Structure 1
Amino acid sequence: MVSTTSRVKQLFALCALALGAAAAVPGAASAQAQPWRPAKPVTVVVPYAPGGGTDTVARAVSRQLALIWQQPVIVENIPGADGLIGTRRVMDAAPDGSSLLLQVPSIALTRYTPGLRGIDPLQRLLPVTAIAQASNAIVVSAKMPVKTVAEFVAYCGRAAQRCALGTTDNQSRLMSNQFVAEAKLADAVVVNYRGTSAVVADLVANNVNMSFTGIAAALPHARAGTLRFLATTGDRRAAVLPEVPTAQEAGFGAFRSVNWFGVFAPAGLPAHVAHAIAAALREAVQDPDVQRTIAAAGAEPVVNTPAEFAAQVRQESARLGSLVQRYPLEP
């Protein structure tokens, strides 16, 4: 038989356990309910030179993230090697949410780049979310005597001097190679630049004649009359350029291209941190100033989940991989 004293001791022990559990559970639930925030300053790497759409979007969103997280969010431009130098900085960083990368679909072409074969950044990065998307544009120097894509092709076909197409990243290089091949411009030359600002400057001077480039960097020059938009490459006309036809409307529908501006983190980032970053970015792009900046860059906000963005990256990677087999990036 169990003594009365033993029973009393057992009851006290059970009560103590129950009280301890009751005290512990609310605390645990409260801790889990707290959204993740960075414990130190965050760096957003833009692997291209300042001045392009990627840089513009990164700076607008980072300012708002700093307010949301109550931590400095620093944009760092690290161009070089077709975006790989800056991208590698994030690939090699600790997966703690303090190092993020803002990239474009060109990242999927790194493994096809001459001199970089076998290097696939997507294997060592985690897609977090897209934050905006924009069509590219076919832009020419205003000194060119053409106003449509068809006129540009005809001009280059008969010009005494070879036409030159300037590229800003692997995607624009791929599109330029495709354009030269499909428009049968055998004498045209594709010139590779390290950043958007450089190619825009040479377009203004007519040192190169045409480029597939982002809308943001070319727009001020078009408004000043030194550059001319011939077409945009999205599924519909860009809101900021309603008078400019799409490539499909211009008779060159094969040159469809929609740029997403996507956030990546080092592989190994915990899932709850990735979702928290995506949620903060979703909040950031609701800010009116951020929306105005994105719109001025010829883009529109598009925030999705890590899983949705990962699927988007895979889809675009497959599309670009198919194109690069037909139009290699090699000179």
Structure 2
Amino acid sequence: MPITHNNPRRHACQGPLLRAIALAAVTWGAVSPALAQTAWKPNRSVTIVVPYVPGGGTDASARATAKLLGEQWGQPVLVVNLPGADGLIGTRKVAEAKPDGYTLLLQTPAIVLTKHAPSFTGTDPLTSLVPVTNIAQSPGVIVANGKFPATSLPELIKYCKTAATPCSMGTGENVAKLFGQQLKAEALPNLIVVNYKGTAAIITDMIANNVNFAVTGVASALPHQKAGTLKIVANQGTHRFSEAPDVRTVVETGMPQYEYTTWFGLFAPKDTPPAVTQSIYAAVREAMGHAELQKAITAVGAEPLVNTPEEFAAQVRKEDERFTALAKRFPLN
């Protein structure tokens, strides 16, 4: 699969992504002459901060990235989990760090919603950070209990409209909460939206049929789909993914307003020199060009997404505009 450049919008991948990428990473070859001549290269360890608990998609992407950058630079690249406050604790840690390339942040589109959360009104971490590059992208999916009688979003809506008891939807991060409120307002006024602190608890409750469906990441859902305990009802991406080719996208079924593809992107503190961010981008791009890594990512429903700092900044701005408009219509609670 080719690397995607300047791709538009693209919750979460778990351990399978990390393990698959780690296996591919050990086969990577030498650094190219072009990369060796970049303007900046670390001479000590680099830290990537993940502002969420270990085991989620951002954590898996960070650890895979740490492995590949360590291979490229010949220096340790450490991953530190600093969860809390919807990702704001770890994000602030990076924003306050020295802008020298040695402290990086791996975040998702959820970062653009921080300023819209009631407890963080007026707090916009994006003003203290600079986008560096994307690492990967993965479609959001609508997942239900394995026995749920629907195989697409329109079927889910039709079922819930006539069900004897109101359907319930589990939500974790703010993006999922936003979509839950949107779906309730636009299609299912009787929908019960249940907010959770993380994806793991939602998965457990869906398997136990305590909650009917949820928005989550494809890699979180795939193992349970294969086991038959959960069912991917709809793919929120713009195209079908190889590990679940029969699952239709929301675009295909005429509901593009629910499209959501998450990205896992690297950020640096504001005022980090352009030469540094460009060099980090170049190192990521070099490693992501290996077919083994692309295959490992694709195998778990994700795909490579590497773009320049300028392209990534434009992508973040576009995401910010979209979610700001949605947050005004459907305020987070």
TM-score band w.r.t. shorter chain: 0.7 to 0.9
Instruction: Find 1:252's aligned residue among 237, 243, 255.
Output: 255
Whether 1:216 aligns to 2:202 is no
Structure 1 segment 174-189 matched on structure 2, within 5 A: 174-183=178-187, 185-189=188-192
Q: Which amino acid aligns with 1:319?
A: R
d(CA) in 2 for partners of 1:76, 1:124: 20
**Helix, strand or coil for the counterpart of 1:83?**
helix
Distance 1:148 1:253 in 2: 13
Structure 1 pair 116–101 and aligned structure 2 pair: CA distance change class (3 A): same
**One-letter amino acid matched to 2:44:** K
Asked if 2 retains the 8 angstrom alpha-carbon contact of 1:129 and 1:305, the reply is yes
SS at match of 1:322: helix
Corresponding letter in the other structure for 1:132:
A
Counterpart amino acid of residue 279 in structure 2: A
1:72, distance to aligned residue in structure 2 (A): 1.2
Q: Alpha carbon RMSD of aligned pairs, Å?
A: 1.8
- 8 Å CA contact 2:242–2:299 kept in 1: the answer is no
Q: CA deviation at 1:288?
A: 4.0
Q: Which amino acid aligns with 1:252?
A: M
Q: 1:306 & 1:329 partners in 2: Cα distance?
A: 30
Matched, 1:168 2:203: no
| 1:68 aligned residue (51, 65, 72) | 72
In the other structure, the counterpart of 1:232 is 235
Assess if the C-alpha contact under 8 Å between 2:169 and 2:213 holds in 1: yes
Residue of 312, 315, 320 corresponding to 2:318: 315
Shift of 1:162: 3.3
Are the aligned partners of 1:79 and 1:194 in contact in 2 as well (CA < 8 Å)? no
User: Which residue, out of 209, 224, 236, partners 1:206?
Assistant: 209
Partner of 1:59: 63
Q: CA deviation at 1:289?
A: 4.3
The correspondence of residues 128-207 of structure 1 with structure 2, limited to 5 A, is 128-183=132-187, 185-207=188-210
3-state SS of paired residue (1:51) = coil
Tell which deviates more after alignment, 308-317 or 142-151: 142-151
Q: Of the two structures, which has the highest relative contact order with CA contacts closer than 8 Å and spacing of 6 or more? A: 2
Q: 1:34 to 1:218 in 2, by over 3 A?
A: closer
Percent identity of paired positions between Structure 1 and Structure 2? 50
Deviates most, 127-136 or 197-206: 197-206
Instruction: Provide Cα deviations, 1:73-105, integer angstroms capped at 9, x if missing partner.
Output: 122222222111221111111111111111111
Distance 1:292-1:202 versus aligned 2 partners, 3 A rule: farther
**In the aligned structure 2, how far is the partner of 1:234 from the partner of 1:147?**
16
Segments of structure 2 that go 5 or more residues without pairing to the other structure are: 1-35
Indicate how the Cα distance of structure 1 residues 193 and 268 shifts in structure 2: closer, same or farther if over 3 A, else same: same
CA–CA distance in 2 between the matches of 1:197 and 1:287? Answer: 32
**Aligned equivalents of 2:89 and 2:109: distance in 1?**
16
Contact 2:151-2:234 within 8 A present in 1 as well: no
Post-superposition offset of 1:160: 4.0
More off after superposition, 210-219 vs 54-63: 54-63
Pick the aligned partner of 1:304 from 299, 304, 307.
307
Relative distance call for 1:116 and 1:310 in structure 2 (3 A) is: same
Give the superposition deviation at 1:33.
Answer: 4.8
1:120 paired residue among 109, 117, 124: 124
2: distance between equivalents of 1:241 and 1:147?
A: 12
CA distance in structure 1 between the aligned counterparts of 2:91 and 2:268, rounded to whole angstroms? 10
Task: Report the TM-score, using the length of structure 2 for normalisation.
Answer: 0.84
> Where does residue 106 of structure 2 map in the other structure?
102
Asked if 1 retains the 8 angstrom alpha-carbon contact of 2:140 and 2:215, the reply is: yes
Contact 2:95 2:129 in 1 (8 A): yes
- Report the equivalent of 2:6: none
Q: Which runs of 5+ in 1 are unaligned?
A: 1-31
Q: How many residue pairs align between the two structures?
A: 298
Matches within 5 A, 1:280-299: 280-299=283-302
Per the alignment, residue 328 of structure 1 pairs with 331
Tell me, what secondary structure is at the counterpart of 1:145?
A: coil
Q: Which has the larger radius of gyration?
A: 1
Deviation (angstroms), 1:193: 2.3
Q: Which moved more, 1:92-101 or 1:39-48?
A: 39-48
Hey, what's the Cα distance between the residues in 2 that align with 1:161 and 1:77? Answer: 40
In structure 2, what residue type is equivalent to 1:209?
Answer: N
Cα displacement (A) at 1:189: 2.1
TM-score normalized by the length of structure 1? 0.85
